[in-house]
Amino acid sequence: MKKEVKHIIWDKTAECMSRDGIRALQDQRLRELVKRVYANVPFYRAKMQAIGVMPGDIRGVEDLHKLPFTEKTDLRDNYPFGLFAVPQSQIVRIHASSGTTGKPTVVGYTARDIDTWAELMARSMTCAGITKDSIVQVAYGYGLFTGGLGAHYGAERIGASVIPMSGGNTKKQVMLMQDFGSTALACTPSYAMVLGEAIQEMGIPLSKFKLEAGVFGAEPWTEGARRRIEELLGISAQDVYGLSEVMGPGVSMECPYQQGMHIWEDHFIPEVLDPDTGAPLPYGQQGELVFTTLTKEGLPLLRYRTHDLTVLDPSPCPCGRTHVRMRKLVGRTDDMLIIRGVNVFPSQVEGVLASIPGVTPQFLMVVGTRHNLDTLEIRVELTPEMMSDTVRHIEETEKLIASNIASVLGLNAAIRLVPPGSLPRSEGKSKRVLDERVR
Ligand code: DLL
């Protein structure tokens, strides 16, 4: 049985501020930010001068569109500390996110940045029902990745007891979860699934655990994955979003209503843009999420392009928080695959699999080339029960997946059902795509 999330709010004044109040605060903070980056970051000064925008031209959020964008490549080009807005002596922490190619993206924090981050993670983890009485097992990686220390500081700020496990070492995670009576788990959704499956395999009944809540993020996961994790761990699984460049985890967080993640707008201005033209889109339309950081001192960013695709919803939320919600991510502009001309997101495959009994959301899309044409094979893990089923039933399941994939993706794919546990497992972020195309 899934546990209900406790409805508590960490900072009512900030989280339930009127929309007008949020806007006024953003206006004032944006003006200060623009002055600060113009004065202290040569990169931004040059960019603004190139397009003829002076700090005085920015009166508030209505002028945001006049400001230049920041791309991940800008951080790389100024590697490692070139975009920092304070002298290095004021930087107290450095994190980095590893890209698929080349140098990592480096981010720096002042003491006040770390304090803000802890506060926003405390807000976020409170959304999942975590209190000072909670025992929080942090199984995000500690290190240059922001997940471990981000969750750690947030849980400590709440006053919870923190177990800094870091990722991996699954058997020990399960043992301590049981022995210490962890009430909350913070890790990637794919690792939550690994832990849930391990508990099932070890044959330990859920009644031996005290888990109530999960704070899962750092990678896309569908409603189907959520249901599976909730079932495997007997908890309520809440989504947390963030990115190193903008802060780390805790930029936005789901409340108990699980209808999108509240973006902490007193610290970040979100925009959704047409990814191709860069034109701002109205609320309710899907596009690329862009953030301007309002309070960051070490690495303030103007209109940072996340390449994450989502929809913003400003409608009132029954939880009482007034901050705009972003819908669960549909994918990234850059993890979108183009297969035989069709745009495909791994999340669509996950969505299809969630509706089919007998299979798990563990899959790998293998894209190849045959006779100069793209091919797509989807390997999907069966559930242990299904493994012992008849060949005919397994074949029927393959056909069902193939036809649902064809109608959702608009593309034919070869489906290969594989034994449970046979696809490569990640301790951190999951790998969904193997692109072996010859280009
Ligand atoms: O993943 C920060 C984080 C740590 C978030 C722990 C949540 C929990 P990066 O490694 O810089 O930072 O990766 C950021 O991960 O642009 C998204 O594409 C993806 N991502 C993060 N959270 C979610 C989420 C951390 N809840 C990139 N759903 C982002 C989907 C997510 N994708």
Q: What is the pLDDT of residues 359-414, one digit of tens each?
A: 988 899 999 988 888 899 999 999 888 888 888 999 999 999 999 999 998 889 99
User: Parallel, antiparallel, or unpaired: how do β-strands 236-243 and 248-254 relate?
Assistant: antiparallel
Residue 59 has pLDDT above 60, yes or no: yes
Distance 217 CA to ligand 1 centre (A): 6
Assign residue 313 a region: left if phi > 0, alpha if psi is -120 to 50, beta otherwise?
Answer: beta
Describe the crossing of helices 19-40 and 42-50 by its angle, rounded to 10 degrees. Answer: 100
Query: What is the number of the ligand 1 atom nearest to the C-alpha of 248?
Result: 2
* pLDDT band of 426, cuts 50, 70, 90: low
Q: What is the DSSP letter of 70?
A: B
Query: What is the number of the ligand 1 atom nearest to the C-alpha of 145?
Result: 10
* pLDDT band of 439, cuts 50, 70, 90: low
> Could you tell me which residue, 356 or 220, shows the higher pLDDT?
356
Residue with the two structure tokens 């909670």: 134
Q: CA–CA separation, 361 vs 240, rounded Å? A: 20
Distance 378 CA to ligand 1 centre (A): 24
Q: What is the pLDDT of residues 190-214, one digit of tens each?
A: 899 989 999 999 999 999 999 999 9
Query: What is the number of the ligand 1 atom nearest to the C-alpha of 306?
Result: 16
Range scoring the smallest mean pLDDT among 131-145, 170-184, 374-388, 417-431: 417-431
* Residue 418 Cα distances to 35, 242, 247, 362, 387, angstroms: 57, 33, 39, 10, 9
243 lines ligand 1 (CB under 6 A): yes
Q: CA–CA separation, 421 vs 14, rounded Å? A: 45
End-to-end CA distance of the chain: 49
220 lines ligand 1 (CB under 6 A): yes
The pLDDT, as a whole number, for residue 1 is 66
Q: Per DSSP, what are the bridge partners of residue 218?
A: none
Residue 100 has pLDDT above 80, yes or no: no
The pLDDT, as a whole number, for residue 102 is 66
Range scoring the smallest mean pLDDT among 32-46, 274-288, 298-312, 332-346: 332-346
248 lines ligand 1 (CB under 6 A): yes
pLDDT, average across residues 73-83: 95
219 lines ligand 1 (CB under 6 A): yes
Query: What is the number of the ligand 1 atom nearest to the C-alpha of 151?
Result: 6
Residue 106 has pLDDT above 60, yes or no: yes
Distance 166 CA to ligand 1 centre (A): 16
Burial class (CB in 10 A: 0-12, 13-18, 19+), 131: middle
Look up residue 30 and give its two tokens.
């944006």
Distance 244 CA to ligand 1 centre (A): 8
The pLDDT, as a whole number, for residue 133 is 98
- The pick from 152, 215, 301, 308 for probing ligand 1's pocket by mutation, whose C-beta has the most ligand atoms within 8 angstroms, reads 308
310 lines ligand 1 (CB under 6 A): no
Describe the crossing of helices 170-180 and 189-202 by its angle, rounded to 10 degrees. Answer: 80
The pLDDT, as a whole number, for residue 136 is 98
Rg from Cα positions in the chain: 22
Q: Per DSSP, what are the bridge partners of residue 96?
A: 106
Look up residue 272 and give its two tokens.
């959704």
256 lines ligand 1 (CB under 6 A): no
Q: What is the pLDDT of residues 310-331, one digit of tens each?
A: 999 999 999 999 999 999 987 7
Shortest-distance Cα residue to atom 4 of ligand 1: 147
Range scoring the smallest mean pLDDT among 17-21, 28-32, 90-94, 355-359: 355-359
Distance 308 CA to ligand 1 centre (A): 9
Helix (H) or strand (E) holding 105: strand 105-110
pLDDT, average across residues 120-133: 98
Q: CA–CA separation, 107 vs 298, rounded Å? A: 8
Helix (H) or strand (E) holding 325: strand 325-326
Residue with the two structure tokens 């091919």: 375
Look up residue 307 and give its two tokens.
């390449």
DSSP three-state, residue 40: helix
